[in-house]
Amino acid sequence: MKKVVVTGLGAITPLGNDVNTFWSGLVNGHSGAGPITKFDASKFKTRFACEVRGFDPSGQLDRNEMKRTDLFTQYALVAASQAIRDAGLDFSAMDPFDTGVIWGTGQGGMQTFEDQVTEYALSGAPAPGSGGAAAPDGPGSGPQPRFSPFFVPKLIANMASGMISIKYGLMGINYTTVSACATSNTAIMDALTYIRMGKAKVMVTGGSEAPVTQASVGGFSSMKALSTRNDDPTHASRPFDVSRDGFVMGEGGGALVLEEYEHARKRGARIYAELAGAAMTADAYHMTATHPEGLGALRAMQLALEDSGINKEEVDYLNAHATSTPVGDLSEVQAITRLFGADPENLFISATKSMTGHLLGAAGAIEAIACILSIRDSILPPTINTLNLDPEIPAGLKIILGSAKTASRPVRVAMSNTFGFGGHNGIVVFRRIS
């Protein structure tokens, strides 16, 4: 089985619009939360989010690319361009069929959908349920419903992967994964599999999401999934804390260049880490709630370690899914303690969503980057805002609170957990290259 390594990274996040700024924000415990600026949220129950700030794609995308793409695709294109540049890839010297793109998004072009349906409703369209009755003067008379010719291309979820391949002429495997908040890890796992099988030499993978919209915030709020700490947004996301009250919406994208090891070595590429293994399972339990005993998550972690050929005692760092919801955090803790024990000697845990918010389908991508950089620097990012651990969490779990931890030994193995509505569990494992 072919070894797969990471040779390029790119990130657009609430903590910064490049990998170094993002990593600095994590290590220094910064919060990306603040009042929503993308729409008037004054009447919403939750009025804050972790927005991407200062994003200007004009330097990397031309006018037509910007006009014809939703924000989630723009995040994808810019993050991917960073990763490709970071990897030092020269596609002109490569067979275009050797490189593919597998990208992930949970929602796709949500803002495009909102804008176009609003325009339709205001353009003289028949009222819903009216049967589409014609205007009094007959078909074709009166105001006509208006839709942009770019509505469907901007909306559909696969357009991010499609546009990345078009921009760089990548003619290999190309598609999009959707598994809610496990989406990015699904994409990464699929990309890993194709390289292992010899179906590709290089894959651009990751995920992007632009969910700070009225429909997304309103929908998650109606489920009581979002924190309502409107008076203190920067301290709202508090995973594992006894007073946690929901997640904070985030947005952005993360990109990884995965490469077959010998291909990377022969071209002299800088290698961040090995993508040692991955696994997915399903809870088969509930539409939105995780299994209360974490059975699906537990099995996914076990399978990911088996796929990696790594013993559980070798895992140094775990980036928890931990979104700051009352039920979800504890079910993940159950899974972790069942696998690693209540007092594991070498394992340290943190929840970086306390800083970035929850990027939904893009969460796994930026958290994979956090794992990779923790291996590179042997620095473990913290969980911020958590002052009083839930008493149901075993005291022996080493959850990094408040400030980053410099590891006492090189970080060799890092695991990233993601779980999504529908019961999707996706785990990826990275290992230091010796």
- Catalytic residue at 358? yes
H or E element, residue 355: helix 353-356
- Catalytic residue at 181? yes
Q: Are the CB atoms for 74 and 252 separated by under 8 Å? A: no
Q: Are strands 398-399 and 348-350 parallel, antiparallel or unpaired?
A: parallel
**What sign does the CA torsion over 327, 328, 333, 334 have?**
positive
User: Which of 263, 291, 358, 424 is flagged as catalytic?
Assistant: 358
User: How far is it between the farthest Cα atoms of the chain?
Assistant: 80
What are the DSSP E strand ranges found in 133-267?
174-177, 202-209, 252-260
The residues pairing with 177 across neighbouring beta strands, listed in sequence order, are: 104
C-alpha span between 337 and 352 (Å, rounded)? 19
User: Which of 291, 321, 371, 424 is flagged as catalytic?
Assistant: 321
**CA geometry: angle at 339 spanning 335 and 344, to 5°?**
110
Half-sphere exposure of 122 (CA within 13 A, CB side): 6
CA distances for 26 relative to 16, 29, 261, 271, 390, angstroms:
10, 5, 29, 22, 23
* Residue 167 token pair: 């921009």
Please give the order of strands across the beta sheet that includes 99-104.
174-177, 99-104, 202-209, 252-260, 4-12, 273-282, 424-431, 413-420, 317-319, 348-350, 398-399
Q: Are the CB atoms for 170 and 101 separated by under 8 Å? A: yes
Residue from 18, 16, 208, 17 nearest 8 by CA: 18
C-alpha span between 99 and 89 (Å, rounded)? 11
Q: Are the CB atoms for 304 and 429 separated by under 8 Å? A: yes
User: Which of 181, 263, 291, 371 is flagged as catalytic?
Assistant: 181
H or E element, residue 425: strand 424-431
The residues assigned a catalytic role are 181, 321, 358
